[in-house]
Structure 1
Amino acid sequence: MKTLMASGKEYTLYHTTGKVLSSSKNLSTTVSATGGGNTPVNMRSTTTVHDQIFLMDNTGKEHSFQLQDFDVACREGNEVTVVWAVQKGKKAGDYIAATNHTTNQNFFNIGALRRMYRPTWLIPIALTVVFLYMGSGTSILLAFATWIVFIAYTISKANSFKKEFNTGMYS
């Protein structure tokens, strides 16, 4: 176990390493549409990759993992580690990383990482209210810039985790 601080929140990182007994992959696609009548119809589709991986650890215990949006490349016999993060005070958390030690590849759940590193919404909301209350064109730009900085900060922190991720600590 390892602890991690992310945007003022403490997480405990857990992991399981083992030989892949079997793995499967499937895709699901969700399609949504908006508009119609007098407005143009906008269609959007989202495809989610589902990985199911069965590992046997070095004690002979079997573990199963259902991962979404990782697209883990692995096959029977590969050594794989799956890492998940549980926020302090909670009982469960998200899978955040998987490593195939055999191929030396890392895979990440970027959505879960961004949620971990996202700071509180209170600051950008408060700044937006203050800027919009000021009512000038510049204040509207400042309100918009507040959200750009908020999003850029979150993405930057998640990308830093990916860059600094040390696969050796989980082998």
Structure 2
Amino acid sequence: MSVRVTLLAAARGSALLGERFDDDRPLDEAGWYAVQFAAPALAPLASAELRYCSPTPRSRATGEALGFRPLVQPALRDCDMGRWRGRTLAEVTALEPAAVDAWLADPRSAPHGGEPLLAFISRIGGWLDTRPACDGAIVAVAEPAVVRAALVYALKAPPATYWNVDVGPLATVTLTGRSRRWSLRLE
């Protein structure tokens, strides 16, 4: 039996240039407004048989504001960025330019002391592959990075593809299939 998983990127918790690695800030005012504006279009997702979210405050708040009442899934947490946690890319690049270059070039590297990109993609793929077969749909609210990792995994794309996928706040993507056999469904 096939599974249908819709991934919904959490609403924003900060301005784009203020985004920080492994950010755990709640929704900002613009994020709340965007959820309210998008709610009518996203309301059908609340009928999913299984509803999940990542443990971040903005993912939980997005799911709750949409009426999903999601179950927190620790496996859907953002990539562990080690000592870079809480910093912006610009801040880290200014302090450790060679480390940032290594991190961007090699998906197995973790100069920040956290989780390598390849391990992050594999963790998210493992979560996808263990979803139970169900007659209904599954929805998961997660950080944009988690949605990107799920797409790379599902499409069996090279890890470097991760850097070429933009996932905006409240974007949705649907994957259908079963363990290790996923298809991207565009509607």
TM-score range, shorter chain: under 0.3
| Structure index of larger Rg | 1
Question: Using CA pairs below 8 Å that are at least 6 residues apart, which structure has the higher relative contact order?
Answer: 2
Higher strand share: 1
The normalised TM-score by structure 2 is: 0.24
The normalised TM-score by structure 1 is: 0.26
